[in-house]
A and B are shown apart, each in its own frame.
Chain A
Amino acid sequence: MAHALVFIDNPGAALKKSSLELLTIGRSLGETAVAFTGELNDDVAATLGAYGVTAVYRPSADDLDDYLVGPKAVYLAAAVGASGASAVLVDNSPEGKEIAGRLGIKLNAGVITDVVGVEPDGTAHKSVLAGSYTTTAKATTPVTILSVKANNVEPAPAAVATAPATATVDVPADAAVNSARIATRTEKPVSGRPDLGEARIVVAGGRGVDGDFGPVEELADALGAAVGASRAATDAGWIGHDAQVGQTGVTVSPQLYISAGISGAIQQKAGMQTSKVIVAINKDAESPVFEIADYGIIGDLFKVLPQATAEIKKRKG
């Protein structure tokens, strides 16, 4: 009987860091099984073994990806039954949270989203009201479902590797009834930069970049960082909506957040104030962002950012 079941959805050629984090958390709860979808290649199977996974479940149906959420929740419910797991861990993506939500209703199980830490007894820590409170929450049901935010634990392989057994879980033929069908799917262009929600460093630009994200992007690339933006910048069309950090965009919690030309209104603050170190560059000394910055520079981002970029390149040789 597994204690934890980690959902890994179509990893492709290699497991994402967030999946490795879930496996690491799973082991802290007990024996960990995986509910897997998509192609299971040898490298991925070897990584699952290295992380101490005891069993890998795969669905009998191969059309789960053709529908939105519904059939994956049906499959996961069956995998929980097969594994006997008392804790289910999914990533905190929109789809992960929705699968968790539907699974919770199917299993009469409590769901906790946006989790940043898990105790061995399944108690979850999360940060709420845009980072102004931290709470501890617990499911009162036999099964606990947690959607866990990335970057909160260091992925660590197990002390002893395993050779997990693979088993097929029957997905009922009517699993897709009452589900939305995905008619077309296009991969969004890949930037080559780290994913905004998972990046260790984020460099973000706002109204002050005045349409030119060049200096922001160049500093980001020198630091190996993701590029973010305030709502003012995405609404102006200077950069895609996917880059928006804030209450209606991505919430980030990186080691370092560099804010350039962003006043730091509450909407933006909500998305980044749990960052470990905040650096702000703004021409206006009265910008609210300076109230929360660990290091603030009153100055022109078009001078400060390129100078910093050149200096970083020089020091890194």
Chain B
Amino acid sequence: MEETLKIVVLVKHVPDAQFDRHITGPGNTTDRDESILSELDEYALEAALQLAEERGGPKAGNEVIALSMGPAGAVNAVKKSLQIGAYSGVHLSDDALAGSDAAATSLALAAAIRHLSADGRPVDLVLTGMASTDGETSLIPAQLAERLSFPQVTFASSLDIAGGQVTARRDAGAYSETVEAQLPAVVSVTDQINEPRYPNFKGILAAKKKKIASLSLADIGVDASQVGLAGSWTVVESADARPPRTAGTIITDDGDAGIKLVDFLAAQKLL
């Protein structure tokens, strides 16, 4: 049997992209009323569950902890993760966190991960999605790794762990790479790595019995001035809704639409 793992999966509560999304919050932040678990985080959770199950699951001593940072509503991302199969949840929430940029967010998450390692069993692996579906900066895995002095393995499209070493395939740029790193590590996974499971009825019932720990900034030893708008190194000065695109000319093909299309392209000087 492989060594057991303590895995933290970062999950984010993001505005549902199926609806119109708005920037109306203080400091030009995103309105989070219609929010869901970021779809890309489901791949990270699935990867964590598979690694833990290969090692005998919770009974053998593996841990899969879903960690979300955000206002009260963000606990729903943790609850959804528990229904899908995470073993326990942590909700990091504090009014002072509002408006945190990636640098401030990574500071708070790094402190939370150190806090979760302070029970005598250090975190082996931090798993994330390839991006959040709202901010989409993809900065958190790199910045968190830098703050924790962990290696980062990003955009993993396959992931194996053996003998304390992570081996992953990475297909981010012009190359296909095999990447190796020692645990503890931060790993972000793509949407190609697996097929995430759906919560079933049993999972939804079981989730009600799972623990969600609430952490405040004081619990993780972070001062309010280090996070939020005060602790951020970037400021969004303005946000303007882009005028919606309007439909243009629509024609039905009468046998010459291909030629009409080329006429249109020529008129637009696009040939």
Contact = CB atoms under 8 A, between A and B. Distances in A.
Interface of A: 68-70, 73, 93-95, 97-102, 104-106, 108-114, 123, 127-141, 178-188, 201, 223, 241-242, 247-248, 255-256, 266-267, 270, 273-274, 277-279, 281, 285, 290-300, 303-312, 315-316
B270 A114 contact: no
B23 A180 contact: no
Given A188-B175, A255-B270, A279-B264, A298 B252 contact: yes
Contact of A278 (B149, B177, B245, B259): B245
Contact of B18 (A133, A137, A241, A266): A266
Interface stretch (B46-54, B133-141, B210-218): B133-141
Contact of B233 (A99, A108, A242): A108
Given A69-B152, A178-B150, A179-B151, A304 B258 contact: yes
Contact of B179 (A131, A181, A188): A181
Given A111-B139, A183-B179, A273 B245 contact: yes
B242 A181 contact: no
A304 B185 CA distance: 51
Contacts of A274: 242
Interface in B126-172: 130, 133-143, 145-147, 149-155, 166-167, 170-172
A101 B149 CA distance: 14
B172 A95 contact: yes
- Chain A interface mostly: mixed
Q: Quick one: which of A131, A141, A270, A299 has the most chain B CB within 10 A?
A: A299
Contacts of B252: 285, 297-299
Given A127-B242, A187-B174, A292 B270 contact: no
7 closest Cβ contacts across the A-B interface?
A307-B258, A299-B253, A110-B233, A101-B142, A180-B181, A294-B248, A308-B258
A181 B140 CA distance: 20
Contacts of B1: none
Given A294-B248, A296-B251, A308-B261, A135 B150 contact: no
Nearest to B252: A298
A296 B150 contact: no
B235 interface: yes
A293 B249 CA distance: 8
Interface residues of B, number: 86
Given A94-B155, A138-B234, 6 more contacts: A69-B152, A102-B152, A133-B239, A241-B171, A292-B245, A315-B262
Nearest to B106: A105
Given A131-B242, A266-B17, A295-B261, A98 B142 contact: yes
Nearest to A93: B173
B236 A136 contact: yes
Given A101-B143, A316-B271, A139 B234 contact: yes
Contacts of A180: 151-153, 166, 179-181, 185
B253 A70 contact: no
A112 B234 contact: yes
A315 B271 CA distance: 9
Contacts of B271: 223, 312, 315-316
- Chain B interface mostly: mixed
Interface string B228-271: 00001111111111100101111111011111111011101011
Nearest to B239: A135
Interface of B: 15, 17-18, 20-21, 23, 28, 30, 39-40, 101-103, 106, 130, 133-143, 145-147, 149-155, 166-167, 170-181, 185, 191-192, 232-242, 245, 247-253, 255-262, 264-266, 268, 270-271
B181 A128 contact: no
Contacts of A187: 174-175
B257 A97 contact: no
Contacts of A68: 151-154, 170, 177, 179, 181
Contacts of B241: 132-133
Contact of A102 (B133, B143, B176): B143
Contacts of A303: 253, 255, 257-258
5 contacts: A138-B237, A183-B178, A188-B171, A308-B258, A308-B262
B17 A308 contact: no
Contact of A101 (B135, B139, B249, B258): B139
A233 to B, nearest CB: 14
B177 A182 contact: yes
A285 B102 CA distance: 42
Contacts of B171: 188, 241-242
A315 B263 CA distance: 10
A26 B251 CA distance: 45
Contact of A94 (B172, B180, B185): B172
Contacts of B170: 68
A255 B269 CA distance: 10
Contacts of B142: 69, 97-99, 101-102
B181 to A, nearest CB: 4
A189 B241 CA distance: 39
